Amino acid sequence: MNLVGISINHKTSPLDLREALHLNHDEIVTLIPRLKNSLFSEGVVISTCNRTEIFGFPQNQELDLSSIIDELIRFKPVNEIKQEHFLKFFSCGAVRHLFSVASGIDSMIIGDSQILGQVKEAFEISEDLDFAGAALRRIFDTAIKTGKRAIKETTISEGAVTVSYAAVQVVEKIFSSLDKKSALVIGAGETGELAAVHLRDKGIGKIAIANRTIERAEKLAKKIHGEIVPFQFYKEHLHNFDIVISATSSNNIIVSYDDIKSAVKKRKNTPLILMDIAVPRDIDPDVKKIDNVFYHDMDSLKIIVDQNLQKRKDQIPLVQKIIMEEMIGFFGWFNTLDVVPTIKTMRLFFEEIRNDELEKIKNKVSDEDFIKIEDMTRRMIGRILHNPTVKLREFAETGANIKEVAANTMILKDLFNLGSIPSNGKGINEDKNNPEGTNEKK
């Protein structure tokens, strides 16, 4: 297995460098022909907000991985980048890394399930550009299978690990169903947008956006199929919503105790949920003293996030076990790539000897006896080769050390001189003066 790769990610470099080396779809499509032309026979490029990685099978077995980094930097120049900002992977390490990425345990947010789709999309680009062969396809099929197993068989992706999602999950616990509820999101920045998207995905009945910049509010409202509440009038509309999530960048309180007191009165004391996910806070924390008001801020939500993160971390050993199982299965398959043709050549070798010896006695026995001898020798060769065939295949399929598998196949080839024999069997034992099929000259 000569798969190699490089990676710059959240563990190796600051955000500004990762952003500078991020590749969009069109850039990946442009880069791949350059990699194909000079470095790899097949490969894949993965680029997300937290990582850019290139993996492939080198055209030259002596390939220096630094040349992959150099090619990437030539394609997308970044002056501050250094070789130390990259991790380098070889063989089993490369496969293990890809499986770890796909399963979410190598993500900045442990258990991030979005990376699985991004890995799949990256491979599809390589396939479309004829940059993926059978071995790479098998690697990524297994990587995707590993990611799916991690999600299905563990809780690595469960529980909110961002305050935006934690806020929505708390809302879900208070209201058993959101399809008849309404929400107002104040602030259309990254945090507010995430909260709005999560609410939409949870099937909120009605959602509205209030933001100082109307253009940004309109953009987010269009994305989530929501409405707009003019920022200067949002206080007058608080009573119309069951849920208020505030995530602005204001330096001061923008929702006061009296604002909420008035809103609750207009709602005739029906429950009102307030999620303040801004730093500093947008909502006066004293509102939690008001009856029928459920209030959470960053401190209380962060406790939930930290608890969920720890639960995810506790699942890492289980995911690593899945990764190891899938690696054993993959390398079992990979090891047989050399074993299968060796077995085939060995069988052809013995079959040619059988046919040669049968030809010598064909005219010396009756047709009836010849049929019996032919059948007997076929069964005899089958029995002779049965155990070595089964054992060699089992040895490969158990995922044994690649060097050991290679050593065993090499011994077999040397014992019967199979290395110089074509896989079609032609040329086997053609030296009629050497009936034993050896290389010794008489």
CATH number, domain with residue 224: 3.40.50.720
Annotated catalytic residue 92? no
Model pLDDT, residue 372: 93
In this prediction, residues 255-276 reach a mean pLDDT of 95
Give mean pLDDT, residues 368-388. Answer: 90
pTM of the model: 0.70
Give the pair of three-digit tokens for residue 198. 């999560």
The count of structural domains within the chain is: 3
User: Are 179 and 305 members of one domain?
Assistant: yes
Kindly tell me if the per-residue pLDDT of 407 is higher than 90.
no
- What per-residue confidence (pLDDT) applies to 398? 60
pLDDT confidence of residue 397: 62
Q: Are residues 330 and 398 in the same domain?
A: yes
- Asked whether residue 436 is assigned to any structural domain, the reply reads no
Q: Tokens representing 104?
A: 């979410």
At residue 22, does pLDDT exceed 50?
yes
What pLDDT sits at residue 430?
40
Residues 272 and 378 in one domain: no
> Are 342 and 306 contained in the same domain?
no
Task: Assess whether 73 and 125 both reside in one domain.
Answer: yes
Whether 423 is in a domain gets the answer no
Helix 298-314, helix 163-174: angle, nearest 10: 100
In the predicted model, what is the mean pLDDT of residues 305-333?
93
Q: How many CB atoms lie within 10 A of CB 91?
A: 13
The pair of three-digit structure tokens given for residue 298, joined into one six-digit string? 């960053």
- Has residue 220 got a pLDDT over 50? yes
Query: Does residue 18 sit in helix, strand or coil?
Result: helix
Residue-level pLDDT at 395: 67
Q: Quick one: average pLDDT of 150-169?
A: 93
Domain final residue pick, 156, 179, 206 = 156
Taking the CA atoms of 175, 198, 277 and 315 in sequence, report the sign of the dihedral they define: positive
Both 302 and 329 in one domain: the answer is: no
Confidence tier at 78 by pLDDT (50, 70, 90): confident
Residue type, 430: E
Give the domain range for residue 328. Answer: 324-416
Select from 95, 151, 107, 162 the least CA-distant residue to 327.
95
The per-residue DSSP string of 25-44 comes to HHHHHHHHHHHHHHTEEEEE
> Mean pLDDT over all residues of the chain?
88
Q: Identify whether residues 9 and 139 lie together within a single domain.
A: yes
Nearest to 244 by CA among 277, 281, 273, 286: 273
Q: Which residue did the predictor score with more confidence, 100 or 340?
A: 100
CA Rg value for the chain: 33
Same domain, 209 and 304: yes
How far apart are the two ends of the chain, measured CA to CA in Å? 42
Quote the pLDDT of residue 422.
Answer: 53
Q: pLDDT band for position 428 (50/70/90)? A: very low
Residues 329 and 253 in one domain: no
Q: What is the pLDDT of residue 74?
A: 92
Question: Is 216 among the domain residues?
Answer: yes
Q: Averaged over 293-300, what is the pLDDT? A: 94
Sheet of 293-296: strand order equals: 227-228, 206-210, 182-186, 243-246, 272-276, 293-296
Evaluate whether residue 105 is within a structural domain.
Answer: yes
User: Mean pLDDT, to the nearest integer, of 170-194?
Assistant: 94
Q: How far apart are CA 275 and CA 269, in angstroms?
A: 18
Q: What percent of the chain has pLDDT over 70?
A: 90
Instruction: Tell me the C-alpha distance between 190 and 204, whole Å.
Output: 19
Model pLDDT, residue 390: 80
More confident residue, 80 or 234: 234
Q: Tell me which H or E stretch contains 4.
A: strand 4-9
* pLDDT value of residue 60: 86
Express each pLDDT in 239-260 by its tens digit.
999 999 999 999 999 999 999 9
User: Which residue in 159, 158, 167, 160 sits closest to 187, CA to CA?
Assistant: 167
d(CA 40, CA 60): 8
Active-site hit among 49, 129, 365, 380: 49
Higher-pLDDT residue of 349, 441: 349
Tell me what the mean pLDDT of segment 151-177 comes to.
92
The answer to whether residue 69 is domain-embedded is: yes
pLDDT of the residue at 439 = 37
pLDDT at 329: 87
CA distances in angstroms from 362 to 126, 137, 264, 328, 374, listed in the order given: 56, 49, 104, 49, 10
Kindly state the tokens that stand for 51.
């990582």
Please report whether residue 432 resides in a domain: no
Please indicate, yes or no, whether residues 79 and 110 belong to a single structural domain of this protein: yes
433 within a domain of the structure (yes/no): no
What band does 188 get if pLDDT is binned at 50, 70 and 90?
very high
Region 405-419 average pLDDT: 73
- Tell whether 142 and 9 lie within a shared domain: yes
pLDDT band at 419 (very low <50, low <70, confident <90, very high): low
Q: Is residue 437 part of a domain?
A: no
Q: Provide the H-helix boundaries in 225-279.
A: 257-266
User: What is the per-residue pLDDT for 379?
Assistant: 93
Asked which of 128, 156, 184 is the last residue of a domain, the reply is 156
Residues 184, 268 within the same domain: yes
Look at residue 186 and give its three-state secondary structure.
Answer: strand
CATH number, domain of 52, equals: 3.30.460.30
The mean-pLDDT minimum among 108-122, 163-177, 420-434 falls in 420-434
